[in-house]
């Protein structure tokens, strides 16, 4: 007995039912991102979508601003408040939506026509429903690919979180250093003012020439310019942090509440740094996924190249005489003109690209670790030398100069110059200390899995080409 029309329909809807539906979640993947990032000591991860959570975040932010910011607080604020990061979180939802979409069958196409017989004897109704048969077969594969994509997106979002945290930390160190340097320049200005003051008094007593006074004044004016530059540096870094933390208006008037920390007693131990970096590397994880994805796509593309869709359906027709006829339909493209070789070639190349990218990323990761570690030792040595040898020496020179001044062998100008030399050495120490913390931060970031920007050559940025994993629609 041929199947009744209704049987076909129910069979067909049954098939649809088999595939199951997913729904797009509210904050998909956030927990995974949070867990990933937390394992690398970065918190908090908060995705604001206009809920009560956001209010709690606001209150927390206000509390942190009260007594000045520490470096960690600045990182937390940026992770909570940076809108760029928030928009990055949305890509999680987008990817998850893709995942849901991948699990869905393409909607069947319903077409219907109504023809009126010219003789007026009735209407011919033509109904058809067709769906892509291969779609059903490819759903698991598509879901698999979309899942990979979603995982990849989570990794990339985690990478963005880590990058932001790293950048905030480094900018904060720079700000702390710039504030200390500003203070040093204020003292240098006071010193120049004192020199000039003394020279004016000497001039008014008739004891030195206008030429000598003018030279002292020139020094004073240069000191003012140097102070000016130091002030601009602080303002610039302050605003950089405002951008990263998402502050404007009165909220942007925060102060730092601690100076740059001293050199720590112990440093990152050198053992197994490279292997740790490789293990933790987000960049390599992402690159590995790219390879897997490319391979899978290649696997899918080859057969898809030949036959990208097979349409099956049911068609029903009502003749003019009122008779319904129902039956199946099948549509198959015949691969005469195209066996899909270009698509395959593309997919193949994409795979090789992913392989090479992985390799070069690994090279860069290892090299960055070695470079940063060596650089860290050098900067530590420099900071220690300045602090333990050169600064005490400058202090000795100043103290001895004071005794020679007391014995009237040196002038007050010589004494002020000794003090200026000490202040300039302090400045060099602050810069070395800042550089230490920046390089250390970069090394820690590399060991957490994200290669920061350094002077080393960068790897070409890479992302998988947008795939036509399943035809149009």
Partner 1 sequence: MWKTLITRRGALAGGIALAGGAFLGRPDQASAATSDSHPHSWGGSGAAGANPDPDPTPVPPGQPGQDYTPTLTPNGSTLPYRLVDGIKVMHLIAEEVEHEFAPGLKGRCWGYNGQVHGPTIEVVQGDRVRIYVTNRLPAPTTVHWHGLIIPSGMDGVGGISQRAIQPGETFKYEFTIRQHGTFMYHSHHDEMTQIAMGLMGMFIVHPRNVPPEDRPDRDFVLLSSEWKITPGTYRPDPNEMTDFNVLTFNARAFPGTDPLVCKLGDKVRIRLGNLSMMSHHSIHLHGYHFHITQTDGGPIPESARWPETTVIVPTGSTRTIQFIADNPGDWAMHCHMLHHVMNQMGHGLPNVLGVNPDGLDEKMRQLLPNYMTMGQTGMADMGPMGMAVPPNSISMIGAQGPKDYITMGGMFTILKVREELPDGQVSDPGWYQDPANTQAQPATEEELRRDSINPKR
* Neighbouring C-beta atoms of residue 423, cutoff 10 Å: 18
Q: Nearest approach, Cβ of 177 to partner 1 (angstroms)?
A: 22
Q: Nearest approach, Cβ of 408 to partner 1 (angstroms)?
A: 5
Under a CB-based contact definition with an 8 Å cutoff, are residues 280 and 447 in contact? yes
Q: Based on CB atoms, which residue is closest to partner 1, 124 or 424?
A: 424
Alpha-carbon span 453 to 444, nearest angstrom = 13
Residues in the site for partner 1, rule: CB under 8 A?
A: 187, 190-191, 193-194, 197-198, 201-202, 204-208, 398, 400, 402-413, 415-416, 419
Q: CA nearest 157: which of 83, 86, 260?
A: 86
Q: Nearest approach, Cβ of 460 to partner 1 (angstroms)?
A: 54
In sequence order, the 6+-apart residues with CB closer than 8 A to the CB of 5 are 314, 316, 324, 326
DSSP state of 407: T
Q: Nearest approach, Cβ of 430 to partner 1 (angstroms)?
A: 18
Give residue 251's region: left, alpha or beta (phi > 0; psi -120 to 50): alpha
Q: Nearest approach, Cβ of 209 to partner 1 (angstroms)?
A: 11
Q: Based on CB atoms, which residue is closest to partner 1, 42 or 184?
A: 184
Q: Nearest approach, Cβ of 200 to partner 1 (angstroms)?
A: 10
HEC secondary structure over 184-233: HHHHHHHHHHHHHHHHHHHHHCCCCCHHHHHHHHHHHHHHHHHHHHHHHH
Q: Based on CB atoms, which residue is closest to partner 1, 360 or 402?
A: 402
Q: Based on CB atoms, which residue is closest to partner 1, 288 or 404?
A: 404
Half-sphere exposure of 465 (CA within 13 A, CB side): 15
The strand pair at 109-116 and 311-318 is best described as unpaired
Q: Nearest approach, Cβ of 398 to partner 1 (angstroms)?
A: 8
Structure tokens at 342: 């270009």
Query: Could you tell me which residues are beta bridge partners of residue 123?
Result: 116
Counting every residue, how long is the chain? 473
Q: Nearest approach, Cβ of 426 to partner 1 (angstroms)?
A: 12
Alpha-carbon span 170 to 160, nearest angstrom = 15
């Amino acid at each position: 007995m041929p199947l009744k029309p209704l049987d076909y329909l129910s069979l067909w809807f049954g098939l649809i039912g088999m595939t199951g539906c997913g729904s797009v979640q509210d904050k998909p993947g956030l927990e995974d991102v949070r867990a990933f990032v937390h394992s690398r000591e970065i918190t908090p991860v908060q995705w604001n979508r206009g809920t009560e959570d956001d209010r709690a975040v606001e209150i927390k932010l206000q509390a942190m601003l009260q007594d000045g910011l520490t470096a960690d607080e600045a990182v937390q604020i940026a992770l909570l408040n940076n809108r760029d990061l928030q928009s990055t979180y949305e890509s999680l939802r987008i990817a998850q939506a893709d995942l849901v979409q991948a699990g869905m069958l393409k909607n069947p196409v319903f077409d219907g026509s109504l023809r009126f017989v010219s003789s007026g004897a009735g209407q011919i109704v033509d109904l058809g429903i067709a769906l892509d048969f291969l779609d059903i077969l490819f759903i698991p594969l598509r879901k698999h690919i979309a899942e990979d994509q979603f995982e990849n997106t989570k990794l990339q979002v985690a990478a963005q979180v880590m990058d932001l945290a790293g950048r905030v930390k480094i900018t904060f160190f720079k700000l702390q250093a710039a504030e200390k340097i500003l203070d040093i320049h204020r003292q240098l200005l006071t010193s120049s003012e004192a020199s000039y003051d003394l020279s004016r008094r000497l001039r008014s007593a008739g004891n030195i020439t206008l030429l000598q006074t003018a030279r002292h004044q020139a020094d004073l004016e240069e000191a003012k310019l140097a102070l000016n530059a130091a002030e601009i540096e602080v303002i610039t870094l302050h605003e950089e942090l405002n951008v990263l933390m998402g502050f404007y208006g009165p909220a942007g008037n925060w102060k730092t509440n601690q100076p740059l920390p001293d050199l720590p007693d112990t440093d990152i131990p050198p053992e197994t740094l490279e292997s740790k970096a490789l293990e933790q590397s987000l960049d390599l994880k992402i690159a590995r996924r790219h390879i897997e994805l490319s391979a899978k796509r290649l696997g899918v593309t080859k057969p898809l190249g030949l036959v990208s869709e097979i349409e099956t359906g049911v068609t029903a027709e009502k003749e003019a005489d009122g008779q319904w006829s129902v039956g199946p339909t099948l549509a198959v493209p015949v691969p005469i003109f195209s066996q899909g070789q270009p698509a395959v070639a593309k997919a193949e190349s994409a795979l090789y690209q992913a392989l090479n990218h992985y390799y070069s990323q690994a090279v860069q990761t290892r090299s960055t670790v070695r470079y940063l570690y060596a650089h860290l030792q050098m900067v530590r040595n420099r900071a220690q030398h300045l602090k333990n040898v050169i600064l005490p020496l400058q202090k000795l020179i100043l103290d001895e100069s004071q005794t020679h001044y007391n014995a009237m062998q040196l002038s007050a100008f010589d004494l002020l110059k000794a003090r200026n030399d000490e202040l300039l050495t302090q400045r060099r120490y602050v810069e070395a200390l800042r550089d230490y913390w920046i390089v250390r931060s970069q090394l820690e970031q590399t060991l957490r899995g994200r290669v920061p920007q350094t002077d080393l050559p960068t790897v070409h940025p890479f992302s998988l080409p947008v795939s036509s994993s399943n035809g149009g629609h």
